[in-house]
Structures are given as C-alpha cells and as structure tokens.
Chain A
Amino acid sequence: MLTRQAWSPYLAGVVIGLLQIPAFLLIETALGASSSYVTIGGMFASWIDPSILKIDYVARHVAATGKNWWQVALVVGIAIGAFVSMKLSGAKRAAISPIWQRALGSASPAKRYAVAFVGGFVLLLGARIADGCTSGHGLSGMAQLAVGSTVAVAAMFAGGIATAMLLLRRI
C-alpha cells in the first residue's frame, strides 16, 4: 500500500478529509496552507525591513502562537510526506514535469522558472486577498458550508480555467 505509486483519488481524498479531526480537536482551526506564507515571508522580510512588523497583519501572522506555527509545520510536513512517499514507491521525477514543454511551447528551464515564480506570486497574492486558498476556502470552507468560501472556489476554478485556455497550450 505505502509502496504503491498511486492511490485511488477517493482513498487519498478521505485521508485528507480526516485531517480535519485533529485540526479542529487539537488546534481548534481548519486545514489551511496559505497563511504560512505570510508567517515565513513576513519573518524573512523583517530581517531586511524590521518596520514590516509594525503592520498589524504581519505581526499577527508571525507571532509565536500555536496556530501560526502549526500551519508552517504542516506545510513543511507536506514536503516530508511527499518525499517519503516518493522514496517508498521508487518513483523518479525530472527537474521539470514533461508537460511544461508542451504547455509553454518551450523546453527552456529559465522560461519555466520565470513562469513558476510569477505563478507563485499571483497564487499567494490572490490567496491573501481572498483570505484563503484551495485548502482553507476549498477543503475547509466548503465542508463548513461557508458561502464566501464557495464563491472563492468558483472564482478559483474560473480564473484557473480561463488562464489555462488563454495562456497555456494544450498539454
């Protein structure tokens, strides 16, 4: 089981959904990922510009609270879990997924890295404007029947599909 390359999306989805149990019971919060970028980004930025900590939004996110650092630990754990899973199955990944050559119409790693950087920037800018990402609004917000989260998820798919149709080639 643990050495298999792929699980059914339904099994994996159930496992991810069950993580709401420890999140709500132990941390008294819902699964989320994007706030951690403010915690880490704000901390790095404060080394160069200490005055960023005067912004209440940043101060709240870098504060040494369980919730802030639980989420940072969660995303670090995601990288560890994916790494271990990959090693157990013996799968190997190229530095860049083969789909990008077709999607971008270019085999240049530099072009892919630039697109990834811009993508990451827009990703977190959007997530912070919306106050949540695929995890916070998607997994947790929709499970809680939150109206705003459902609107955010619909916008997320609309933005993603439009971008894929307009900017990327068919993979």
Chain B
Amino acid sequence: MSVILAIIIGIAMGIVFGFALEKSRVFEPGIIVGQMQLRNFIMLKVFLTAVATGAVVLAVLNGFGYVRLQPKAAAYAADILGGLLLGAGITLAGACPGTTLAQIGAGYRDAFFTLIGGLFGAVAFSYAQPVLAKTFLGQGGPKLIFSNMLGVPYWAGALVLAALIVVTLVALEAWSPWRGEMGKDVDGDLPASPPPGKASMHAQPAE
C-alpha cells in the first residue's frame, strides 16, 4: 500500500479514535489521575471494553484466517521497567501517548509540554537504544500468547478473555456507576465531599 493511502486511512481512523476518547472523557487528566488514585474507574472501563471488543474482533478475523496476529515479544525486564516508567509518566502527564493528542485537540495547553517532553523522551531513548540493546533490556523474547501456553486455539482464548472482562465490568459498574464518575464539567473533577454547611443549604429550602 502506498504511504499516502496509509496516511489517509490513519487520519480517518484517528478521527474516530479521537472522537471516542473525547466522548468517553478518558483523555481528561481528572479521569486518568483519578484512576491512578483508585477513585475513578472510567479509564479502566473504556480500556477493558476496548480490549474485550478487540479480542472478539480478532477471534473472528484470526479464527476464520483473514489476519495474522502481531503479538509483541515477551521481554520481561523491558516490559516491567518500561511499564513502570510509562505508568509514572501517565500519572505525571495525566495522559498516555495517544490521549496527549486528544488533550491538545480539546484545548489543554499543558498537553503541548507533554508532547514535547515525549518527543525528547523518544529521541533520548533512540540515542541510548544501541547501548541498551546490548544490556538485559535489549534481550528479545518469544512471542508468547496465553492461549498457546494453555494449548487452546487463539479464538477460544480470546472469547474467554472477553467473557471474563464483561463479568468484571458488570461488577465494576454495579459498584461504581460511570455517571457518578464524570463530575459536573465531565472532566473527572470530583471535589472531595463539600463542606457540611453548604450541603445542608442545598438540602433545605431557604427560609
């Protein structure tokens, strides 16, 4: 496929992606930091739903032989160290590499600093990569997937994962309904319980 066509498809897919990120509010720093402080679960809900949907889609596409899977190699040292740093970055930025762009689109100015920091981070890694490749972080790994380890076809494993996620989400939603996690300005800004005086003023009719 030509690069131009790939770019057109990428823009079209990105617009849908950005639209869904914006509508779900998962790009909001309040939602992302709230998730990491374990008081807001919108991020987990969007994330797990997308994983389950992707699993069902790939179970069908791969099960019927239309596509090959593209799992990344299991390189545990790099996965763990990189994952820890990535997580720290998500909390400090209030964004991940994709949602940074959604924040820019929605008008958050600090997201430009996240983006520039991210570009510097990617370039710093690039300079270090030839050296890192020779250390414990550079060792590749097998492209392991759980269904192979368990000796079941991928499509069956993917459908089981999707079912487990649905059960988890039903429980999560019952415990903490999503509407209550949005906040007044749908930005995950949920100030701690209001001062008692103020709350009672709303509750009682004015004299």
Q: Closest residue of chain B to A100, judged by CB?
A: B29
In the complex, how many angstroms separate the beta carbon of B8 from the nearest chain A beta carbon? 8
Residues A9 and B94 in contact, CB atoms below 8 Å apart: no
- Which residues of chain A are within 8 angstroms of B116 by Cβ–Cβ distance? 117, 120
B18 engages A80 (CB within 8 Å): yes
> Which B residues lie within 8 Å of A99 (CB)?
29-30, 33-34, 94, 187-189
Identify whether the interface residues of B are mostly helix, strand, loop, or mixed: helix
User: Shortest beta-carbon distance, A72 to chain B, in Å?
Assistant: 7
Q: Is A163's CB under 8 angstroms from B91's CB?
A: yes
Give every chain B residue within 8 A of A162 (Cβ-Cβ). Answer: 84, 87-88
Known: A42-B126, A77-B12. A132 touches B72 (CB 8 A): yes
A56 to chain B, nearest CB (A): 8
Interface of chain A residues 68 through 114 with chain B (CB within 8 A) = 69-86, 91-93, 95-100, 103, 109, 112-114
Min distance, Cβ B1 to any Cβ of chain A, angstroms? 5
B119, A98: Cβ atoms under 8 Å?
no
Q: Tell me the complex Cα distance, A131–B166, Å.
A: 28
Q: Whole-angstrom distance between the alpha carbons of A26 and B2 in the complex?
A: 11
Chain A interface size range: 35 or more
Give the interface size bracket for B toward A: 35 or more
Q: Which of A19-57 contact B (CB under 8 A)?
A: 19-31, 33-34, 36-38, 40-42, 44-45, 52, 55-57
Closest chain A residue to B169, Cβ basis: A10
Question: A122 to B35, alpha carbons, bound, how many Å?
Answer: 19
Residues of A within 8 A of B1 (CB): 26-27, 66
Task: Using CB atoms, name the residue of chain B closest to A77.
Answer: B14
Cα A10 to Cα B181 with chains together (Å): 14
B119 close to A13 (CB less than 8 A): no
Alpha-carbon gap, A162 to B85, bound state (A): 11
* A158 adjacent to B84 (CB under 8 Å): yes
Within 8 A of B (CB), among A113-166: 113-165
Interface of A is mostly: helix
B117 near A119 with CB under 8 A, answer yes
Q: Judge whether A70 and B9 touch: CB under 8 Å.
A: yes
A residues within 8 A CB of B61?
Answer: 21, 24-25
A residues in contact with B106, CB < 8 Å: 82-83, 86, 91, 93
Residues A126 and B83 in contact, CB atoms below 8 Å apart: yes
In the complex, are the beta carbons of B182 and A135 less than 8 A apart? no
For the complex of A and B, the 9 pairs showing the least CB-CB separation, nearest first, are: A77-B14, A17-B53, A13-B49, A81-B18, A130-B82, A155-B83, A120-B117, A159-B87, A73-B10
| A residues in contact (CB < 8 Å) with B | 4-31, 33-34, 36-38, 40-42, 44-45, 52, 55-58, 61, 64-67, 69-86, 91-93, 95-100, 103, 109, 112-165, 167-168, 170-171
26 A-B pairs in the complex with CB atoms less than 8 angstroms apart: A9-B24, A10-B49, A13-B20, A14-B50, A19-B13, A20-B57, A24-B61, A41-B118, A55-B126, A56-B130, A57-B126, A70-B7, A77-B16, A81-B20, A118-B117, A119-B88, A120-B121, A122-B88, A122-B121, A123-B85, A125-B122, A142-B55, A143-B55, A146-B146, A148-B141, A165-B37
